[in-house]
């Protein structure tokens, strides 16, 4: 069962985040390999693999949560990229981040928008004005 959970999680991580997710896992192997395994098994093997929400909805929720936290820019950038990978449009990402200004404040939303701008540039995405 643990191997199945790990394999399911790794496949889901690659589906959502591609190389960005793999890079995070690889960066942990020399300092906390158990944590890298937990990160694959629990969030991606258990939670992301549940049938209740599609990946678009899950990634929009994660972008909202990480934006609201206001202190998770590296993770937010990875998940903005993941949201793009699973079909969330750049305009939808911007709207989700802007919505967080109501609940998390303007500084958190500004940080989120600047993270999105950076990710969009890296992905060659432009928003029409």
Domains located in the chain, CATH noted:
1-51 (no CATH), 53-124 (1.20.1290.10)
pTM of the prediction? 0.91
For residues 47 and 128, what is the distance between their CA atoms, to the nearest angstrom? Answer: 35
CB 18 within 8 A of CB 84: no
Alpha helices in 1-129 (DSSP H): 2-17, 19-28, 33-39, 55-69, 73-85, 90-104, 106-122
DSSP secondary structure letter of residue 43 = I
pLDDT digit string (tens) for the chain, length 129 residues = 779 999 999 999 999 988 888 888 899 999 999 999 999 999 999 999 999 999 999 999 999 999 999 999 999 999 999 999 999 999 999 999 999 999 999 999 999 999 999 999 999 998 865
């Amino acid at each position: 069962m643990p191997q199945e959970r790990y394999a399911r999680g790794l496949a889901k991580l690659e589906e959502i985040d591609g190389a960005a997710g793999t890079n995070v896992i690889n960066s942990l192997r020399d300092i906390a390999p158990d944590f890298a395994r937990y990160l694959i098994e629990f969030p991606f093997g258990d939670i992301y693999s549940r049938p209740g929400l599609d990946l678009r909805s899950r990634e929009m929720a994660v972008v909202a949560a990480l934006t609201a936290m206001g202190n998770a820019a590296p993770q937010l950038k990875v998940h903005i990229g993941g949201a793009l990978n699973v079909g969330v449009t750049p305009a939808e990402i911007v709207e989700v981040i802007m919505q967080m200004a109501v609940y998390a404040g303007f500084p958190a939303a500004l940080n989120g928008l600047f993270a999105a701008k950076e990710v969009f540039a890296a992905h060659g995405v432009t928003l029409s004005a």
